[in-house]
Structure 1
Amino acid sequence: MTALRKWLFAGLLVLVPLIVTLWVLDWVVGTLDQTLNILPTSWRPDAWLGVHVPGLGVLFALVIVLSIGALASNIIGNKLVHWWHALLHRIPVVRSIYSGVKQVSDTLFSEKGNAFRKALLVQWPHEGMWTIAFLTGSPQGDLLDQLQARPGSATPEDEFLSVYVPTTPNPTGGYFVLLRARDCVELAMSVDEALTYIVSMGVIVPGGSRNPKIQLAADSATETQP
């Protein structure tokens, strides 16, 4: 029974990541393949190939994105983009949704932005308890004035940071907090390494495949089980 239990967990460790990865890839490819539906029926690859080839929609979507990016990078395309933004901002309901989504996308994907560019070590949810967070920016205007005017530990000279504290193992949920810069420690690990560390709940250590102490303890526990 001990050997069967060990083989079962070893098999799950191999198959579960593979199955989840294949499922996500299948969903992404299937979703992007739907972009071919914008083409006339006679132009679709299925019509002139006579067979459905998965993944062609991915290439088609990539071509569209690159083409729009190239168009928006020149002077004429930039003017068209500004005209399009101005038009959408004049539509009452669309304006609220579009402006909010655009601000988030500009923060995340703009080369000038600093969102999720640094991994930080912060004390959360209270002093003496540490966790990994990501720098998203810095407060400005009245918000910064109010933070610096708070009595107690804050001073007018204090610099504050906007920080996102993710939850684990699902980092898409979390908390947005404002912290003093001197209370945040910048980590040498990359954002990808920090995300892997968070998703694995500390099992996969940055720079290594797995926490050696945890692995050693798990192996010892398995060997001693009756």
Structure 2
Amino acid sequence: MQLGDDTPSRPPRPGLFARLRNNFLTGLIVIAPIGLTFWLIWSVIGWIDGWVLPFVPHRYRPDIWLLQQFGLDLDIRGIGVAFFLVFTLIVGWAAKGLIGRSILRFAENLVQTMPIVRSVYGGLKQIAETILAQDQSSFEQACLVEYPRKGIWAIGFVSTSAKGELAARAEMPMLSVFLPTTPNPTSGFLLLVPEDDVVMLDMSVEDAAKLVISAGLVYPGEKDAKDRVPDLDPAG
């Protein structure tokens, strides 16, 4: 470079090993979420098959029929899932009928006579009805609450306003807030927080759940700001 030339010098181009490393990391960022998603789906399907297929007679299983007729020993994933879906549809259809409702009522009355079983059944039924209800979402909104002390904030999910005895005994409006744990948001704590102490968030419940699961590594809006595959090679 000549004296007096203010042209900035270009940074040295990364070597071959650095470019290969950056390309590998970029490819890993693309492949890892897709691969983990398919692996999780494949594993769940296999788990359901292993749980359902022992209850299915051999004459109704396609893999057993192929083995007996053609000698093909194939591991066909999803057979148990298909039987489970059909069985669930039949049970749901029967439960809506008069006979089905009568049988279901008789079974629930029988369960209510068992001290420990009725508590477990009642709790699981209430959780299932809350999660699978089609006319309402599981949580209303994501929020911030000061927990475990003042000055420290945690992400929570507003479920409902306090009702019944809790609302009657409280001296102020209270909200039921579920405080999830990281990285497993299915476990957590139920907090009854004064409504004035809850800071509502604009982000959706799904985005807040992603933030909790990722331990703060995935923030809402990052995808909109970087709607492309990250380029780890500064030299392009």
Same fold (TM over 0.5): yes
Q: Kindly indicate whether residue 39 of structure 2 is the aligned counterpart of residue 39 of structure 1.
A: no
Distance in 2 of aligned mates of 1:45 and 1:97: 36
Residues 78 and 118 of structure 1: is their aligned pair in 2 closer, same or farther, counting only changes over 3 Å? farther
Residues 189 and 38 of structure 1: is their aligned pair in 2 closer, same or farther, counting only changes over 3 Å? same
Picking from 175, 182, 205, the partner of 2:189 is 175
**Normalising by structure 1, what TM-score?**
0.76
- Residues 74-98 of structure 1, C-alpha deviations (whole Å, 9 max, x = no match): 3432332222111112123322322
Unaligned runs of 5+ in 1: 149-155
**1:126 corresponds to:** 149
Q: Kindly indicate whether residue 66 of structure 2 is the aligned counterpart of residue 49 of structure 1.
A: yes
Distance in 1 of aligned mates of 2:203 and 2:66: 48
2:176 corresponds to which letter in structure 1? S
Contact 1:204 1:210 in 2 (8 A): no
Count of residue correspondences: 210
RMSD between superposed Cα atoms in Å: 3.0
Which structure: larger Rg?
A: 2
**Normalising by structure 2, what TM-score?**
0.73
Identity of aligned residues (%): 35
Output aligned runs, 1:122-201, within 5 Å.
122-146=145-169, 148=170, 156=171, 158-201=172-215
Q: Kindly indicate whether residue 123 of structure 2 is the aligned counterpart of residue 100 of structure 1.
A: yes
Q: Kindly indicate whether residue 92 of structure 2 is the aligned counterpart of residue 78 of structure 1.
A: no
Distance in 2 of aligned mates of 1:113 and 1:74: 24
Contact 2:143 2:158 in 1 (8 A): yes
Q: Which has the higher helix share?
A: 1
Residues 187 and 78 of structure 1: is their aligned pair in 2 closer, same or farther, counting only changes over 3 Å? farther
- Residues 175-224 of structure 1, C-alpha deviations (whole Å, 9 max, x = no match): 22111123223334332222123223344343552765xx99x96xx859
